C-alpha cells in the first residue's frame, strides 16, 4: 500500500503566514491572525478557522491591502486542508495567489508560500503534474526572495521531495530531503518541530527503498522532538506514530506496530475527526497489518472504514481509494469471496486508468505482502 505512505505518514503541515511581513494598521486583524496561528500550531483547527474567518472579515471591512487579505486567505485555506475540505482550500489558495499577482508583488516571500501550499494540496488530490509545477515555481521564487538557505526554502524542498518520492524518483527525493534537513538543523536547531518534519520525510524515502532500520531511527528522533515541543497528542505526533508502525511492520515487529497504529488512530480521531483522510490512512495501514496477522475480521472493518472516509472526502477515483480497494480485494480473495474481490479490482483499475497520478506510481506494488516496506511516511 505504497500510496498511503506517500501521502499521509508525514504530516503535511503547510506554512501559515504571519503578520511580520505586512504593515500594521488594524490591531484587531493582527490579534485574530495571531490567535488563529497559535490555535493552528496547537492542533485546534476549529478555533483557528474561527479566528482566521474573523480576521478576513476585519481586513475586508477596513479596506486592507490585497497582501493582507491574501495572507488571511492562505491561512484559512491551510485550516480547510487540515480539516480535509480540499475543494474549499483550493478556492481560497487560488484567490490568495491571484491577489499577489494582481498586486504586482510576485517576488514577495509570502507569494512563494501560497504556491507551496497550493502545490501540497494538489499532491494530496493526486494531481501530481500540477503539484510539481507549483512546487518548483515556489522553490524558484523562494530562493530568489528569501534565499537558498532560508527555512522557507527548506520547507518547499521537503514538499518537493515527498512528491518526487511518490512518483518513484527516490534519488531526487532523498537529495531534496537531505538538503532540507541540513538547512533546518543549521537555521532552526536540531530540536525544532520543522526538523522532525524533515526527519519523517527522509525516513519515508528510506522505507520506500528498503532501509527500514534507518527509517525507524529517524522516526524515533522525530517523535521525541514532537512530544517535547508539541505534546504527545498533537496530530504531527500521530503521523510519526503511523510511520513508526510502518517501520516496525516492515521489520516484522507486528505487536509493536499494532500498538503504534492504535495510538495514532486515537490521536487523529480526536484532533482531526473520524472522517479525515489521515484517519483513513491509519486505518488502511492498520488493516493491512491485521490481514497479515490473520485477523481477517479486524482487517475487513478497518478496510471498510478507510474506504468510506476516503471516498467521502476524495471521491471514488482518487489513487488512495484505488490503493485501499486493491488491498481489500486481496483480503476478499483470501476469504474466498472472489466475485466481490473482482468487482473491487475492476473499480480500482478503472479509476487508476483515468487518474493523472496512475502513471507515476508502481501500482503493482500495492498488492505485495504487508511486510513490503510501504511508502506511507506521508505523503
pLDDT digits (tens, 9 = 90+) for 118-127: 999 999 888 8
Q: Compute the distance between CA of residue 262 and CA of residue 269 in angstroms, rounded to an integer.
A: 11
- pLDDT beyond 80 at 104: no
Beta strands in the chain (DSSP E): none
On whether residue 91 sits in a domain, the answer given is no
Q: Compute the distance between CA of residue 79 and CA of residue 246 in angstroms, rounded to an integer.
A: 27
Cell 534519488 maps to which residue?
Answer: 171
Segment 153-160 shows an average pLDDT of 93
Whether this prediction's pTM lies above 0.95 is answered by no
CB 75 within 8 A of CB 16: yes
pLDDT of residue 326: 94
Q: Which residues contact 325 (CB under 8 A, 6 or more apart)?
A: 307, 344, 345, 347, 348
CB 66 within 8 A of CB 99: yes
Q: What are phi and psi of 208, to 5 degrees?
A: -65, -25
CB 170 within 8 A of CB 208: yes
pLDDT digits (tens, 9 = 90+) for 14-54: 555 544 444 444 458 889 999 999 998 887 888 999 999 99
On whether residue 81 sits in a domain, the answer given is no
pLDDT of residue 83: 83
pLDDT of residue 95: 92
On whether residue 267 sits in a domain, the answer given is yes
pLDDT digits (tens, 9 = 90+) for 309-366: 998 888 887 888 999 999 999 999 999 999 999 999 999 988 877 765 444 333 333 3
Domain limits for position 239? 2-21+108-367
Domain count for the chain: 1
Q: Compute the distance between CA of residue 233 and CA of residue 244 in angstroms, rounded to an integer.
A: 15
If one counts every other C-beta atom within 10 angstroms of the C-beta of residue 144, the result is: 13
Segment 167-190 shows an average pLDDT of 94
pLDDT digits (tens, 9 = 90+) for 201-258: 999 999 999 999 999 999 999 999 999 999 999 999 999 999 999 999 999 999 999 9
Percent share of the chain, pLDDT over 70? 84
Residue 354's alpha-carbon distances to 121, 168, 351, 359, in angstroms, are: 19, 19, 5, 10
CATH number of the domain residue 347 falls in = 1.25.40.10
Cell numbers given for 80: 480547510
Segment 45-70 shows an average pLDDT of 86
User: Secondary structure of the chain: what % helix, strand, coil (to 5)?
Assistant: 75, 0, 25
Residue 140's alpha-carbon distances to 115, 127, 146, 200, in angstroms, are: 11, 20, 10, 24
Q: Which residue would you say has higher pLDDT here, 150 or 179?
A: 179
On whether residue 235 sits in a domain, the answer given is yes
On whether residue 48 sits in a domain, the answer given is no
Q: How far apart are the first and last CA of the chain?
A: 12
- pLDDT beyond 70 at 86: yes
On whether residue 64 sits in a domain, the answer given is no
On whether residue 343 sits in a domain, the answer given is yes
pLDDT of residue 17: 52
pLDDT of residue 100: 83
DSSP string, 10-46: S--------STTS----HHHHHHHHHHHHHHHTT-HH
pLDDT of residue 132: 95
On whether residue 171 sits in a domain, the answer given is yes
Q: Compute the distance between CA of residue 54 and CA of residue 76 in angstroms, rounded to an integer.
A: 10
Amino acid at each position: 500500500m505504497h500510496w498511503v505512505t506517500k501521502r499521509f505518514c508525514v504530516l503535511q503541515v503547510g506554512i501559515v503566514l504571519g503578520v511580520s511581513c505586512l504593515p500594521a494598521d488594524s490591531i484587531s486583524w493582527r490579534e485574530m491572525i495571531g490567535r488563529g496561528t497559535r490555535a493552528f500550531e496547537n492542533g485546534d483547527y476549529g478555533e483557528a478557522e474561527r479566528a482566521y474567518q474573523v480576521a478576513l472579515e476585519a481586513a475586508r471591512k477596513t479596506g486592507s491591502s490585497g497582501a493582507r487579505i491574501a495572507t488571511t486567505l492562505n491561512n484559512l485555506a491551510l485550516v480547510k486542508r487540515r480539516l480535509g475540505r480540499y475543494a474549499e482550500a483550493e478556492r481560497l489558495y487560488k484567490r490568495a495567489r491571484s491577489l499577489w499577482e494582481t498586486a504586482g508583488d510576485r517576488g514577495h516571500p509570502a507569494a512563494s508560500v501560497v504556491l507551496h501550499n497550493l502545490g501540497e494540496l494538489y499532491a494530496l488530490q493526486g494531481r501530481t503534474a500540477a503539484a510539481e509545477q507549483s512546487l518548483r515555481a515556489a522553490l524558484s521564487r523562494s530562493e530568489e526572495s528569501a534565499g537558498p538557505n532560508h527555512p522557507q526554502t527548506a520547507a518547499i524542498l521537503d514538499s518537493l521531495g515527498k512528491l518526487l518520492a511518490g512518483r518513484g524518483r527516490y534519488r531526487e527525493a532523498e537529495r531534496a530531503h537531505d538538503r532540507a534537513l541540513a538547512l533546518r538543523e543549521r537555521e532552526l536547531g536540531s530540536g525544532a518541530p520543522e526538523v522532525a518534519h524533515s526527519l519523517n520525510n527522509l525516513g519515508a524515502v528510506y522505507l520506500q527503498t528498503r532501509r527500514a532500520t534507518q527509517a525507524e531511527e529517524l522516526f524515533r528522533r522525530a517523535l521525541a522532538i514532537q512530544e517535547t515541543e508539541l505534546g504527545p497528542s498533537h496530530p504531527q505526533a500521530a503521523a510519526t506514530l503511523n510511520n513508526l508502525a510502518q517501520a516496525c511492520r516492515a521489520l516484522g515487529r507486528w505487536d509493536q506496530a499494532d500498538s503504534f497504529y492504535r495510538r495514532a488512530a486515537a490521536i487523529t480521531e480526536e484532533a482531526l475527526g473520524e472522517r479525515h483522510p489521515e484517519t483513513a490512512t491509519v486505518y488502511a495501514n492498520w488493516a493491512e497489518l491485521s490481514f497479515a496477522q490473520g485477523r481477517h475480521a479486524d482487517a475487513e472493518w478497518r478496510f471498510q472504514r478507510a474506504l468510506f472516509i476516503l471516498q467521502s472526502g476524495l471521491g471514488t477515483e482518487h489513487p488512495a481509494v484505488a490503493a485501499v480497494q486493491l488491498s481489500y480485494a486481496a483480503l476478499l480473495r483470501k476469504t474466498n469471496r472472489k466475485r466481490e474481490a473482482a468487482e473491487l479490482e475492476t473499480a480500482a483499475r478503472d479509476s487508476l486508468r483515468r487518474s493523472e497520478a496512475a502513471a507515476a506510481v508502481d501500482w503493482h506494488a500495492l498488492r505485495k505482502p504487508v511486510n513490503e516496506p510501504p511508502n506511507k511516511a506521508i505523503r
